[in-house]
Amino acid sequence: MITIVACGESGIRAMENLNIHRYGDSNRLAIHLDKTMKILNRCDKNIYLGDCIEELLNSKGRMEISYHNEELIQRRVARYFLNTEIAIVVGTIKDERDSTLIESTCKLLSKMGILNLLMVSKEYNNDNLQDIIYKTSLKYLSESCSSIFEVEREKFEDNVIQLSNNFYELINFNGIFNLNVGDFYKIFNGGKNSYFAYATACGKDRGRKVVQEILRNKDMVRRLMTAGNILINITGNKSLGLHEIKNITELIYENINEEAGIVFGTLINEKYVEDIKLSLIVN
């Protein structure tokens, strides 16, 4: 099972746009500190933790947030992850409360042995103090989660939707070459920053087109050349054959670090009538 964990208001709003809630074997949790927050009925559980925190002044006189009852938090939260294979934690950071909520959630998942992938962004603001808080938070978050996907705020909701649906397909659909959770552990470990991109193409020579489309992303090209690990996934309907898969992978291999660890899979999903989708995750 894949569980989407939305932390704080912005994370919850992003989760409300996901279309995977219609499937019975996915799980959606909203975790927040604001008891007055209005949440749409699109999540499986609404978990309030505002009564478990305390505010402290550090040596520099700045406010810090810490939890004073971790056992209570575990009792409230842990049972909702019993069948979870991968947790995708989503949230944006504007202050210490956001950072603490996200960090504690990732720590709990790590203690439970659950692969947890964090998609995070700085909340809209040009405030210098917020920049400091965000950059400091990333350091601690990297020590708490399996991997971090750091994205621009303007693209946050779209990236949450695409990454979540991508992992849902990876877990729940079979293919010619199947991936499992063990393969994901090979890619995501030690809090490394990860980068995700995808492209679709259809028509004649769609294999070459889909690779060309994804390589238009200059950030992806740069990261492929220096990546330590790369996950390659190709999705299509039953018309997706070995020859087409071979052509796509050969084109990708021309643009990657030869020493990178490669995890490769394909998925058969009949919703892709004429097109195919290529997804790459690198770190």
Model confidence pLDDT, tens digit, residues 226-256:
888 888 889 888 888 888 888 998 999 888 8
Give 150-157 contacts, CB < 8 A, sequence gap 24+.
150/120, 150/121, 150/193, 151/119, 151/120, 151/121, 152/121, 153/92, 153/121, 153/122, 153/123, 153/124, 156/10, 156/14, 156/92, 156/119, 156/121, 157/13, 157/14, 157/17
Name residue, tokens 């980068």.
195
Model confidence pLDDT, tens digit, residues 145-186:
888 888 877 777 788 888 887 887 777 777 777 777 777 887
Band of residue 274 on the pLDDT scale cut at 50, 70, 90 = confident
pTM of structure: 0.81
Residue 197 has pLDDT above 50, yes or no: yes
d(CA 195, CA 248): 20
Pick among 1.10.3720.10, 3.30.1330.20, 3.40.50.300, 3.40.50.150: CATH of 188-282: 3.30.1330.20
Pick among 3.90.226.10, 3.40.1190.20, 3.20.20.80, 3.40.50.1440: CATH of 2-170: 3.40.50.1440
- Give residue limits of the domains in the chain: 2-170, 188-282
What local confidence, expressed as pLDDT, does residue 156 receive? 79
d(CA 69, CA 164): 31
Band of residue 21 on the pLDDT scale cut at 50, 70, 90 = very low
> Please, are residues 87 and 3 in contact by the beta-carbon 8 Å criterion?
yes
Share of the chain above pLDDT 90, in %: 4
